[in-house]
Amino acid sequence: MISVDEALANIFDNTDILGEEYADLQSVYGKVLAEDVRSDIDIPPFHKAAMDGYAVLSRDLARLPVELTLIGNLPAGTFSSEVVRTGTCMKIMTGAPVPEGADAVVMVEDTERVSESLIRFKKGVLSGENVCRMGEDVRIGETVLHRGILMGGSEVAVCASVGKTSLRVVRMPKTGILSTGNEIVEPAQNPGKGKIRNSNGPMLYSLVRGAGCSAEYMGISDDSEEELRQAIRRGFEKDLFLLSGGVSMGDYDLIPDILQKEGGRVLFHRVRVKPGKPLLFARKDGCRIFGIPGNPVSNLTTFFLFIKPALFKMMGREDYQPRFLNARITADFPYQSGRLYVVPSRCGVQDGGLTVTPFTLNGSADITGCAETNCFMILPEGTKTIKERETVKVLLIDR
């Protein structure tokens, strides 16, 4: 049995960044960029008005008040061939190109309309004031995004601004999810005697999709060797294969042996963690396999502590390592164990600091007690009773 740190190191050592592919701009959100992106234009592509007002020659406003002749109106998206000369001005909207001759924009609030063609100016401006200069944000050919960046909404907007509609990205892992066990039935079924509904499959599917990856729910396999072998062969076609159940020490826990019979190499089996001690990690060619103990709470904690980091590394994300924060516990928590304890909890903020309230569960099958979990409290091996307001480590999770 290995420690959590040893298990994570093993996972990362045996998990590679996936290959690259081209994706259109509408589908790159959440993916990692695999190329540098350069601008094909200056941004802004012309001198533009930073606000609504009047385009003027700043020297005309050296003595105030002054009245200038209005020679036109310039909305955004239009261009004027008129030249602003001494004694004239042009009305201009935010984002419109500053007309030739003008070197500043005066805000509407600092003017007064005398007549249809005459504007009185009550405040002066400096040359360049209220004007965004051509190329002041980005110059043509400048790198605007670097390889390795995670594509979010703002990065998508940057690419659109520089005309980049197809991007080279790290492809997303294809994930298969198989639930196992004679005792489980699908959620739509009414469980008979000795049966329970399958909560692990839908939960893992949702968590994988929430991480931005494609997922295939492969159904339920009973605990017969032949059916499991067929399902596992199909799972090997994925980048990541999640098997829920069948990895403990019972007579029907067949997964470890079947994986090896089918050519898989088990890299570790059993971790000093609670819940989730029977966790298994294996590989077969380009597929990485997690065998997860069947209790639902184990599926939940194992996903965030081990599986999601592996997914993120496959995706090429630099933030794949679990990130732990400090929080003050809100009540005494009695505990003593030789295993690292992962406790479903809820984080909040009090007096400017992070707090954590651990949930009380009736064992690792009590998934209903995990509703509203937004973090896990992490208690290291050998931890004894934690007193109220002591500082502990927490792992925040996405909701």
Q: Which residues are CB-neighbours of 54 under 8 A, at least 6 positions away?
A: 68, 70, 89, 90, 91, 92, 105, 106, 108, 111, 119, 121
Cα–Cα nearest to 56, from 86, 78, 33: 86
Q: Quick one: pLDDT at residue 397?
A: 93
Q: Quick one: pLDDT at residue 201?
A: 97
Q: Which residues of the chain have pLDDT under 50?
A: none
Q: Are strands 118-121 and 66-74 parallel, antiparallel or unpaired?
A: antiparallel
Q: Which CATH class is domain 324-396?
A: mainly beta
Q: Quick one: pLDDT at residue 27?
A: 96
Measured between alpha carbons, how far apart are the two ends of the chain, in Å?
A: 31
CA 111 – CA 53 distance, rounded (Å): 8
State pLDDT tens for residues 29-85.
999 999 999 999 999 999 999 999 999 999 999 999 999 999 999 999 999 999 999
Domain ranges within the chain, ordered by starting residue: 4-18+172-314, 30-42+139-170, 48-132, 324-396
Complete DSSP assignment for 104-134: EEEEGGGEEEEETTEEEE-S---TTTTEEPT
For 4-18+172-314, which CATH superfamily applies? Answer: MoaB/Mog-like domain (3.40.980.10)
Q: Quick one: pLDDT at residue 246?
A: 87
Q: Which CATH class is domain 48-132?
A: mainly beta
For 30-42+139-170, which CATH superfamily applies? Answer: Molybdopterin biosynthesis moea protein, domain 2 (3.90.105.10)
Q: Quick one: pLDDT at residue 365?
A: 84
CA 52 – CA 93 distance, rounded (Å): 4
Fold identical between 4-18+172-314 and 324-396? no
State pLDDT tens for residues 375-391.
999 999 888 889 999 99
pTM for the whole thing?
0.88
Long-range pairs of 133-140 with CB within 8 A, sequence gap ≥ 24: 133/44, 133/47, 134/42, 134/44, 134/45, 134/46, 134/47, 135/42, 135/43, 135/44, 136/44, 137/43, 137/44, 138/39, 138/42, 138/43, 138/162, 139/39, 139/42, 140/39, 140/40, 140/41, 140/42
Retrieve residue 10's tokens: 């093993």
